Amino acid sequence: MDADAALPSWAEDYLGWLATHRRAAALTLESYRRDLLRLTELAGERAPQTLEVTDIRRFVARLHGQGLSGRSIARILSAWRGLYRWLIRNRGAHANPVESIRPPKSPAMLPKALSQNQAKALLDAESETESALECRDRAMFELFYSSGLRLGELAGLDLDSGSRNGWVDFAEGMVTVHGKRDHMRTVPVGEPALAALKVWLEVRARLPVAGEERAFFITRNGRRMSPGAIRGRLRRWALSSGLGVHVHPHMFRHSFASHLLQASGDLRAVQELLGHASIRSTQVYTHLDFQHLAQVYDSAHPRARK
Active-site annotation holder among 71, 214, 276, 292 = 276
Contact 155, 234 (CB under 8 A): no
Contact 168, 156 (CB under 8 A): no
Residue 176 has φ and ψ, to the nearest 5°, of -110, 130
Active-site annotation holder among 33, 253, 254, 259 = 253
Task: Compute the distance between CA of residue 135 and CA of residue 122 in angstroms, rounded to an integer.
Answer: 14
User: Roughly what angle, to the nearest 10 degrees, separates helices 284-300 and 267-274?
Assistant: 130
User: Roughly what angle, to the nearest 10 degrees, separates helices 116-123 and 227-241?
Assistant: 100
Q: Count of CB atoms within 10 A of residue 131's CB? A: 11
48 by DSSP, 3-state: which?
helix
Beta strands in 134-255 (DSSP E): 166-169, 174-178, 184-188
Active-site annotation holder among 33, 136, 150, 185 = 150
Task: Compute the distance between CA of residue 3 and CA of residue 154 in angstroms, rounded to an integer.
Answer: 25
Would you call 292 a catalytic residue per the annotation? no
Active-site annotation holder among 250, 259, 303, 305 = 250
Would you call 253 a catalytic residue per the annotation? yes
Task: Compute the distance between CA of residue 203 and CA of residue 121 in angstroms, rounded to an integer.
Answer: 24
Task: Compute the distance between CA of residue 224 and CA of residue 220 in angstroms, rounded to an integer.
Answer: 10
Task: Compute the distance between CA of residue 35 and CA of residue 48 in angstroms, rounded to an integer.
Answer: 13
Would you call 276 a catalytic residue per the annotation? yes
Active-site annotation holder among 180, 214, 235, 248 = 180
Give the residue numbers marked as catalytic. 150, 180, 250, 253, 276, 285
